[in-house]
Chains A and B, each alone.
Chain A
Amino acid sequence: MTKKGTGLKIAISAVLCLFILILAIRQGSVYISLKDLFGIIGGHLTGKGTPEGIEPMMDSIFWTIRMPRAIMAFLVGGALSMSGACMQALLQNPLASSYTLGVSSGASLGAALVLILEISIPVLSGFMLPFAGFVFGLATVVIALMLTSAIDKSVSNTTVVLIGMVLSLFVNGMMNLLSTLNADHSKQLILWMMGSFSARGWKHCAILFPVCVLGFICLMIMSRKMDIMSFGDLQAQAMGVDAKKTKILAILICALLTGVSVAFTGVIGFIDLAAPHVVRKIFGPTHKMVIPMSFIYGGAFMALCDLISRTLLSPREIPVGAVTALLGAPFFAYVFFASRRKRA
């Protein structure tokens, strides 16, 4: 791919992403003109408050509800996609995802315990559920890595994936048992697990944003190592990359990105699997492109899915996880198999 061709693709992607983000903010039961939207954003960013001619209620809807929700969806989609891209390269497995090591099942168990036992820590106030989800999600990954290291000193990919699967199934079993024994909380738990961006505000974005920036920087610094790891552990070692150390460090970064995302929004699948593959088809497999473009594509796709989830059957809201899978699966199949057919 020529530099000019890549530049053009990046520019088109950026414009498309911005368009989707603006669409996700504007569309809904209440509509706003672009001028008023930028007026509201400008007013808040400059500290001047709501511009003249715009009702305070409109300001409230767009600044405190729609914008943080769309940005949150974008950040979660981006974080999940970046970590999906990284896991696929590290484990040399195109079907690996950010959930491979059991982050989602761990987080779900944490959420289930909080809901069922009605645990509350005053300092965390509204953040108890995400906090428990994050801690349990990360703990599951750490346990998976410790078990893997104990069983297989070289931390081979097959062991990592198998331990992740076994642990996920075990933790899922525990959670199912808990929710069966406490049927009163089942509905609440199922809704959490299906994922939603409802009622996500700036305070949530303020936590996820620095995590995304940190994860992005770390993964970009490791991008060349990820390229080399894509050829397998043996070749990576031969070429000067400490495969075991790189794998553990990158998995922990991915667990952080996924854990915080899942903790705030529940389990939203598919995007982390599909977005990196779509990006590789468009931009090639080098990770200095795959990581940032996965963030942009994953983020835009999640924002679009959230828009559909809240508007399609309005006022009812469809779980965003269902939308990502229903919309994403055929699109992913088209992109993946159409280009394969062309190449054949």
Chain B
Amino acid sequence: MKIEVKNMSAFYGKTEILQGINLEIKQGEKVFIGGSNGSGKTTLLRVLAGIIPHKGEVLVDGRDISSMKRKDAAKLIALMPQTSDIYFPYTVYETVLLGTYASAGNSFMSNNANAVIHAENCMKECGVFDLKERHLDELSGGQLQRVLLARTFAQKSPFLFLDEPGNNLDIKYRAELCDRLNKWSAGKTGEVDNTLVAVFHDLEQAKRCCARAVMMKGGEIVFDGNIKDAMTREMLMKVYDFDVASYVET
């Protein structure tokens, strides 16, 4: 199973955000999407997940993502957005359980027992099981981020797209997140090798979690290859218009 992108472009209104994107992501890969603010990373993730319209082709396992039913697409790809709007105070438990919607086949009144066990495991792995009765509006930013991560894992999809998952996490939880992602990436969902595609602003975290880098600038891919080759002073200078090496150890 793989994701193929051919000559894809995406727009917000009339503004072209992505242009001429060609990309192939095979199952089992660990891909870092890098680039400065506004370079099109988030839009790329959303297009790949089939959430926003695009021109050109985005094929998942040979099928056009935009023609797939949302539930079928969500069974293959789980996307964790970088921000979350909380309008009503669901509990942590209720929120993570909702992540099983696409895969579990819950009836409208009751939850599938396996889905409940899976959701509880996801909560435990993301360190939020003890918070399960707390309401979302009572959590800190970091706790909320871990809840949303647990909900994304609960979706049980082989392709995991994370948009800045380290936001609001302290250094301990960032390290734990890396360990958790590496453990997940080494596994399978059903018969399919797990695939991680993540946007990070923390390059150290990106290096720890990913093997391949796709670097973006101005809505285009300017580098696609081994992450070690992306972390050179010249490449980072080109992508960020800033001497990153003078600021952090790359």
A and B found bound together: yes
Give me the interface of A with B, judged by CB distance under 8 Å: 89, 92-94, 153, 220-224, 227-228, 230-232, 234-235, 237-242, 280, 284-286, 288, 343
Residue B247, interface by CB 8 Å: no
CB contact under 8 A between A235 and B81, given known A230-B88, A241-B70: yes
CB contact under 8 A between A92 and B87, given known A235-B81, A288-B109: yes
Q: How far is the CB of B62 from chain A (nearest CB, A)?
A: 20
Q: Which chain A residue shows the least CB distance to B95? A: A231
CB contact under 8 A between A230 and B81, given known A220-B108, A238-B51: no
Chain B residues, CB < 8 A from A223: 108
Contact A228 B98 (CB under 8 A): yes
Contact A231 B85 (CB under 8 A): yes
Contact B49 A230 (CB under 8 A): no
Chain A residues, CB < 8 A from B49: 237-238
Contact B88 A234 (CB under 8 A): no
Q: Which of B72-80, B173-181, B218-226 contacts A (4 or more CB under 8 A)?
A: B72-80
Give me the interface of B with A, judged by CB distance under 8 Å: 46, 49-51, 53, 69-71, 73-75, 78-81, 84-91, 94-95, 98-99, 101-102, 106, 108-109, 137-138, 151, 155
CA distance A341 to B177 in the complex (A): 35
Q: How far is the CB of A331 from chain B (nearest CB, A)?
A: 20
Chain A residues, CB < 8 A from B53: 153
Contact A232 B70 (CB under 8 A): no
Q: How far is the CB of A256 from chain B (nearest CB, A)?
A: 19
Contact B91 A231 (CB under 8 A): no
CA distance A224 to B73 in the complex (A): 18
Q: Which chain A residue shows the least CB distance to B51? A: A237
Contact A241 B84 (CB under 8 A): no
Contact B84 A286 (CB under 8 A): no
Contact A224 B74 (CB under 8 A): no
Contact B84 A231 (CB under 8 A): yes
CA distance A89 to B88 in the complex (A): 8
CA distance A92 to B88 in the complex (A): 8
Contact A235 B84 (CB under 8 A): yes
CB contact under 8 A between A284 and B81, given known A92-B87, A241-B70: no
Contact A241 B101 (CB under 8 A): yes
Q: Which chain B residue shows the least CB distance to A94? A: B87
Chain B residues, CB < 8 A from A288: 108-109
Contact A240 B106 (CB under 8 A): no
- Scoring A93, A232, A235 by chain B CB atoms within 10 A of each residue's CB, the highest score goes to A235
